[in-house]
């Protein structure tokens, strides 16, 4: 049963539709700017911010970050 659920989750990830863009912000009001060495990097500059689209990306960031993270939706 667990294998079936795993494959269903992977198929859902493949066919996930692109949602509204959002920025990830930490408690210090810094913007997520990418990963370096597998760790999330944050910048105070809005220009360095990397927009994300899928909820799975946010879940992954939450799992590897030790800070409280927030989503801020934007219009591109």
> For each of the chain's 76 residues, which pLDDT tens digit applies?
577 778 777 777 666 666 789 999 999 999 999 999 989 999 999 999 999 998 889 999 999 998 999 999 998 7
pTM: 0.73
pLDDT score for 33:
96
The answer to whether the CB of 74 falls within 8 A of the CB of 19 is no
Does residue 50 contact residue 40 with C-beta atoms inside 8 Å?
A: no
- How do the domains of the chain map onto residue ranges? 18-73
Angstrom CA distances, 27 to 4, 23, 72, stand at: 38, 13, 13
Of 56, 60, 59, 53, nearest to 74 by C-alpha is: 53
Cβ distance 24 to 69 under 8 Å? yes
In the prediction, which pLDDT does 35 show?
A: 94
């Amino acid at each position: 049963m667990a294998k079936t659920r795993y494959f269903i989750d992977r198929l859902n990830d493949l066919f996930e539709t692109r949602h509204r863009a959002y920025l990830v912000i930490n408690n210090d009001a810094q913007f997520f700017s990418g990963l370096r060495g597998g760790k999330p990097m944050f910048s105070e500059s809005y220009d360095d911010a990397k927009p994300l689209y899928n909820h799975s990306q946010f879940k992954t960031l939450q799992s590897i970050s030790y800070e409280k993270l927030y989503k801020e939706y934007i219009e591109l």
